[in-house]
Amino acid sequence: MSVTKAWLVLVALSLASTGMAAMGQGRLFVVVVLLLAWAKARVVLDVYLGLQHVPGWRRGFSLGLGAFMVALIGLSVVG
Amino acid sequence: MSRAQASGQLPGEVMMWVLILSELAVFGAGLVALRAAWLTDPEGFDAAQSHLNAAGAAVNTVVLVSSGWLAALAVEAREAVRARWLLIGASVLGLVFLFIKGAEYAAKAAEGISFETHPFWMFYYLLTGFHVAHVVAGVVILGFVAVRPAPATTEAGAQFWHMVDLVWVLLFPVVYLL
């Protein structure tokens, strides 16, 4: 993915999460908003920071980020 | 793809990656602690959060990812003059972020909201304030790099700026939206 395409994706995902916040509440909303944040973080790591070219490191960062996001989603949906 | 990337090495400076990992750990722990504390007083945290301007923070998200885009383009630039202008553009958008954030802090101060108003605000000021400190540092770094942009310094400066971006895209929904 090019950096310009990544930027467009990030802007679209940011607008989508803000639109979700204006529309809804509840557990589904929480999960979707955090999944959108997860996707944005992946784009920044993969394209802006260049991990898309180093699959081994990309997998490691994906694992760490995934564990963090699962913890956040878990804490957010039990409340 | 660079030779280093083809051989499986991390792009850019290894020390920048150590910094990125440590900053992610600090902010990640703070965000998890915020969500855990939320469980102790959901109504109080929800009421406190309702004072935030999510639309302003969303604008700041677009400003910051756009600034990151300019920094990433600067890394790809083949001419120093083009890299310089892209870095200056990234810095200016960083200043726009700080201006909007300053207006947000001023609005909270006018409402009489401080660290001690509710635990939510303690987390809010700690997390966003620490992030603002990184934005200030990033603007200064990008400004210095723009004076005489070389490929290595441009990449290191952009890496720091993307770390600031990365932290914000995780902080924004947890503090402002959920």
**pLDDT tens across B81-107, in order?**
999 999 999 999 999 999 999 999 999
State the average pLDDT for chain B: 91
Task: State the pLDDT confidence band at B7, using cuts at 50, 70 and 90.
Answer: low
- Residue B6 confidence (pLDDT): 58
Nearest CA in chain B to A38: B170
Model confidence band, residue A65 (pLDDT cutoffs 50, 70, 90): very high
**Is pLDDT at A58 greater than 70 in this prediction?**
yes
Q: Are B9 and B152 in contact (CB under 8 A)?
A: no
Q: Who wins on pLDDT, B3 or B166?
A: B166
Structural contact between residues B4 and B147, judged by C-beta atoms closer than 8 angstroms: no
The domain over range B55-178 is classified in CATH as 3.40.50.360: no
Distance in Å, alpha carbon of B108 to nearest chain A alpha carbon: 21
- Test B1 with A20 for CB contact under 8 angstroms: no
Q: Are A36 and B170 in contact (CB under 8 A)?
A: no
Contact flag A72-B35 (C-beta cutoff 8 Å): yes
Distance CA B8, CA A54 (A): 5
State how far Cα B144 lies from the chain centre. 18
Measure CB to CB from residue A54 to each of B5, B31, B39 and give the nearest one. B5
Consecutive H or E run containing B159: helix B151-172
- Backbone CA torsion sign across B52, B54, B56, B62: positive
- B20-39 pLDDT, tens per residue? 999 999 999 999 999 999 99
- Asked if A53's CB is within 8 angstroms of B1's CB, the reply is yes
Domain spans, chain B: 55-178
Minimum distance, in Å, between the CA of residue A40 and any CA atom of chain B: 7
Scanning the structure block, which residue is given the tokens 């995934």? Answer: A66
Say if CB A58 and CB A45 are below 8 A apart: yes
* 3-state DSSP assignment of residue B4: helix
Under the banding of pLDDT at 50, 70 and 90, the label for residue B2 is low
Name residues whose C-beta falls within 8 Å of residue B21's C-beta, 6 or more positions apart in sequence: none
Sequence ranges of the domains in chain A: 3-78
The set of residues, in sequence order, having a beta carbon less than 8 Å from that of A4 and lying 6+ positions away, is B69, B73
